[in-house]
Copies of this chain bind each other. A is one copy, B any other.
Amino acid sequence: MISQEVLKEALKKNKLKSEVYGDLEYLRFTDDFKDIPRGTVLLKDTILWGYPHIGRIFQLSTGIREQFEGPFWVEEKVDGYNVRVFMHNGEVYALTRGGYVCAFTTDRVKDFVNLEVFEKYPDLVLCMEVAGPENPYVEESPPYIKEDIAFFLFDIMQKNQKSFLPYREKLRIIEEFNLPSVERYGLYTPEQVEDLKNLLKRLNEEKREGVVLKEDSERDKRVKYITSYANLNDIRITSLNMLGLPADYYTNRLLRLVLFLEEEGLKGDEELQKELGKAFLDGLFEACRMAREEGKVYRVFRCRFRSREKALVFLEQIKHASTHIQVNMLSLEKEGDFWVLEFEKVFLNMTGLLGYLLKGGSLID
């Protein structure tokens, strides 16, 4: 449990906010606070701990040796958004990493997850990645998801507990309820660095994001490692909204990219140079075109709901999610069994600055 003093202090410092979703009232940690991770949620008698940060290694050969004392499990890191799915008073909800109940994910979880798991184990919290071309948050999508979204379980927590279920226990529950899971590549020893590098080369060619490594031990030590494809792709996807992201978003990815290649003895051939330059330039040129021709820099999202009402609730949620993004609904229409919501996110920083500069404005820097 979290002590009353800590809660009071967090409230006073605005790190703990009250939220409402339908009949559900809850408190949400908006930031890391002491040892409490951002996204931790308090229901009446229940804590849903936030998903913890995982360290990133930049090179495998030294990183594995440095980080692990014994064998570790290797799993795909899917490029989507992180949710925690749980049952409360007979209803199933999905929390985002930040600790919001997401109306979209909550609406769709039953299409992908056998919810009987919560009847047998009501205290479980399923940690899953949601990804796909029709998700409302992430502009990227793994290439093997051709439409809509998909759910991928990677960890199981329990209510009121900060730690994860043991790996083999997780496997058992996945099997028992046939839960959708991230791809698992088995147990590697620290000596198998070359095998792991070969795996990463394949994942890179398949345009996957990377891997999470989980030590097969009591301490359950974890690290992640990202492919050069994913680093380049992050740049390509976000350059349209370059000013909306923290500037070190790009320097971080450049560094990761170079360390990935350097470990392989690569120097960055002309193909890579071109790809990197293009990743930055295409989005920026497109942003200029949009600002000039349409007066706004934006991206269109589309996602499928089962319930029209949830779509409207979701729209309200996302409208208030960021002061740097303006959300406009484009359409909400019945298509087969779905209500399909289309909306645009207008990137206000890019729109404002490019509009100003294209009109001949000056900046002091």
Asked whether, in the complex, the Cβ of A63 is within 8 Å of the Cβ of B258, the reply is no
Asked whether, in the complex, the Cβ of A254 is within 8 Å of the Cβ of B242, the reply is yes
- Residues in chain B near residue A267, CB distance under 8 A: 285
Q: A64-B360, A362-B223 are in contact. Are A258 and B278 (CB under 8 A)?
A: no
- Residues in chain B near residue A248, CB distance under 8 A: 247
- Residues in chain B near residue A73, CB distance under 8 A: none
> Counting CB contacts under 8 A, is A272 at the interface?
yes
- A65–B63 Cα distance when bound, in Å, is 56
Asked whether, in the complex, the Cβ of B272 is within 8 Å of the Cβ of A285, the reply is no
Interface string of A274-312 (1 = CB under 8 A from B): 111110111011001000000000000000000000000
Q: A62-B358, A251-B250 are in contact. Are A285 and B258 (CB under 8 A)?
A: yes
Asked whether, in the complex, the Cβ of B54 is within 8 Å of the Cβ of A364, the reply is yes
> Counting CB contacts under 8 A, is A44 at the interface?
no
Q: A285-B258, A357-B59 are in contact. Are A272 and B268 (CB under 8 A)?
A: no
Counted per complex, copies of this chain come to 2
Contact of A284 among B255, B275, B280 (CB under 8 A): B255
A contact face: mostly helix, strand, loop, or mixed: helix
Shortest CB distance A190–B (Å): 11
A273, closest chain B residue (CB): B277
> Counting CB contacts under 8 A, is A4 at the interface?
no
Contact of A277 among B58, B274, B282, B358 (CB under 8 A): B274
- Residues in chain B near residue A278, CB distance under 8 A: 268, 273, 277
> Counting CB contacts under 8 A, is A57 at the interface?
yes
A251, closest chain B residue (CB): B247
- A262–B359 Cα distance when bound, in Å, is 13
Shortest CB distance A330–B (Å): 27
A258-B281, A273-B278 given; name 4 further pairs at CB < 8 Å: A57-B361, A58-B358, A62-B359, A250-B250
24 sample A-B contacts, Cβ–Cβ < 8 Å, listed by A number: A56-B362, A56-B363, A58-B357, A59-B357, A63-B360, A63-B361, A64-B360, A246-B247, A247-B250, A250-B251, A255-B284, A258-B281, A259-B358, A262-B285, A268-B285, A272-B277, A273-B274, A273-B277, A273-B281, A274-B274, A275-B277, A276-B276, A276-B280, A276-B281
